[in-house]
Amino acid sequence: MSNNEKWKVYNPRGDRRVVVTKELPGERWLEILMQAGCRVDVFTSTEILSTEEISSAIGERCSGAIGQLTEVWGDELFSVLEKAGGSAYSNYAVGYNNLDIGAATRHGICVGNTPGVLTETTAEMAVALTFSAARRVVEADRFMREGRYHGWLPTLLLGELLYGKTVGVIGAGRIGAAYARMMVEGHRMDLVYYDLYRNSNLEEDIAAYADFLKSRGEQPVTCRRMERIEDVLRVADLVSLHPVLDETTRHLIDAGRLELMKKNAILINASRGPLIDEEALVKHCRNNPDFRAGLDVFEDEPDLKPGLIDLDNVVIVPHLGSATIWTRQSMAILAAGNVAGILSGYPVWKRESVLPFLEDNPPEAAPSIVNSEEMGIPEYAG
Ligand code: DGY
C-alpha cells in the first residue's frame, strides 16, 4: 500500500485543510473540525511518519495540523506549514518536548496541547505501576502462567508494604500532585516532594487530612517540601517522577542519584523516558535485586536499553499513562478545539478547567494555546 492510500479524507469540500497524522479516538473531534469548515486528512496507519512524509502531507495548501509526541515538529515542519498557509498546530498530548515552540512562533503558528484531561488518568497509571512493582504483580502473573504455582508458601514472591511509609514526588504539578494525593490519602503515606515552586494547595489539603486523622486519634500524615532532589531520594521508600522534560531534567536520575536511594526503594516514571539514565538504571536494578522500578516511558522510545527486559524487578508498559477511553477521546476534542478555535479567530481559554469543552455548546475559544501571548491571541472574556 502506498502512503497516499493510507490517508483518509473527510469533508473533501472544506474551505480549509487540516492534516492529522494519526487516527484519534471518538467522533466528536472530527465533527469540531468539519463544523469549522475544514477538510480533514487523516493518516490511518500506525506507522510513525517521518518529517519528510509529514512535509509532503502538508503540501502546498494546509491551514492546520494535529501531530503526535512521536514526531519532531521543529523549524522544518513549522516552516512548511507556514508556507502552506497554516496558522494552527496542536500536539495530541499535554507534554510538548517534541516541539520547538520558538520556531512555531517565528513561523506564525499557534501551538496547542491537551492539559486537564490526563491528570488523574496518568496518576492512576503511576499508581498501577507502583503496586505492580511493590507487590511483584507481573512476576507473579508470569509464575502462574508458567505453571510454577504448587501451593501457598510463607516465602513466595514477597514484596514491599507501602502503607504508612514515605512517598517522594519529584515535580508536584498537576499529575505529580494527583499521584501524591492518591498515595497519601489512599495509603496514609507521608509525602516529601521536590519542585521549584511550592504547591500550597497540595500542602493545605494534606494538612487538612492530617487534622482529620488526628481528630480521630489516628497517626497524622505529613508533607514536606525538600530543598534538594537528593533529600527526597534519601528518605523516600517510593519515588515517582513528574517534572517536564527539558535540558535541566534530562538524566535527572543518574547512577549517582540512584545510589542515594534506599536499597529496597521503588522508582516510578510515567512522565518522560529521558528523565532517567536508563543504562544506569539497568545496572542499578541488576546489582540491587530488592530495588524495583515501574516504567511507562523510555529513553529511546520505542527501543529499550539492553538488559532492561531481562530484569524481574522492573515493570514496563508501553507509554499508556493517558490511555483510557475518556481521556484519549477528550484529548482529541481539545486538540481539534485548538486548531478549529485558532482557524475561527477565537480567543484562548486560559482557565483551570477545560471540561466545558467536552460538553454540548462549548465555549467559543481555543482550549489551550501554549504560545498565545507571543502570538498575541487575546484571552477569552465570555
Ligand atoms: C502526554 O500527553 O504528554 C502523554 O505522555 C501522552 O498522552
Nearest-angstrom CA–CA distance, 188 and 221: 6
Nearest-angstrom CA–CA distance, 59 and 81: 8
For residue 256, is it within any domain? yes
Most ligand 1 atoms within 8 A of CB, residue of 66, 118, 120, 245 to mutate: 118
Q: Report the nearest-CA residue for atom 3 of ligand 1.
A: 95
Q: Report the nearest-CA residue for atom 1 of ligand 1.
A: 93
Number of domains the chain contains: 2
For residue 380, is it within any domain? no
pLDDT in tens, the chain (382 residues): 677 889 999 999 999 999 999 999 999 999 999 999 999 999 999 999 999 999 999 999 999 999 999 999 999 999 999 999 999 999 999 999 999 999 999 999 999 999 999 999 999 999 999 999 999 999 999 999 999 999 999 999 999 999 999 999 999 999 999 999 999 999 999 999 999 999 999 999 999 999 999 999 999 999 999 999 999 999 999 999 999 999 999 999 999 999 999 999 999 999 999 999 999 999 999 999 999 999 999 999 999 999 999 999 999 999 999 999 999 999 999 999 999 999 999 999 999 999 999 999 999 999 999 999 999 999 999 8
Q: Is 116 in the pocket of ligand 1 (CB under 6 A)?
A: no
For residue 381, is it within any domain? no
CATH number at residue 19: 3.40.50.720
One domain, residues 106 and 131: no
For residue 228, is it within any domain? yes
In the chain the first and final C-alpha atoms are separated, in Å, by: 48
Q: What is the pLDDT of residue 52?
A: 98
The DSSP bridge partners found for residue 239 are 168, 267
Identify the domain boundary among 270, 290, 316: 316
Q: Is 322 in the pocket of ligand 1 (CB under 6 A)?
A: yes
Q: Is 175 in the pocket of ligand 1 (CB under 6 A)?
A: no
One domain, residues 327 and 301: no
Q: What is the pLDDT of residue 194?
A: 98
One domain, residues 252 and 274: yes
Task: Enter the C-alpha cell of residue 31.
Answer: 465533527
Which atom of ligand 1 has the smallest separation from the CA of 92?
2
Which atom of ligand 1 has the smallest separation from the CA of 113?
2
Side-chain-facing half-sphere of 277: CA atoms under 13 Å: 13
- The maximal CA–CA distance of the chain, rounded, in angstroms, is 70
Q: Which of 16, 272, 284, 328 is catalytic?
A: 272
One domain, residues 168 and 81: no
One domain, residues 45 and 126: no
One domain, residues 158 and 270: yes
For residue 286, is it within any domain? yes
Identify the domain boundary among 316, 348, 364: 316
For residue 367, is it within any domain? yes
One domain, residues 88 and 186: no
Which atom of ligand 1 has the smallest separation from the CA of 271?
5
- The contacts found for 79-86 with CB under 8 angstroms, 24 or more apart, are 79/103, 79/107, 80/54, 80/55, 81/107, 81/109, 82/107, 82/108, 82/109, 84/58, 84/59, 84/60, 85/61, 86/58, 86/62
Active-site residue flag, 28: no
Range of the domain at 79: 3-117+323-375
One domain, residues 78 and 155: no
One domain, residues 151 and 277: yes
One domain, residues 205 and 327: no
One domain, residues 311 and 330: no
For residue 103, is it within any domain? yes
Q: How many CB atoms lie within 10 A of CB 111?
A: 27
One domain, residues 238 and 342: no
For residue 382, is it within any domain? no
Whether the CB-CB separation of 107 and 375 falls below 8 Å is answered with no
Identify the domain boundary among 267, 292, 316: 316
Active-site residue flag, 319: yes
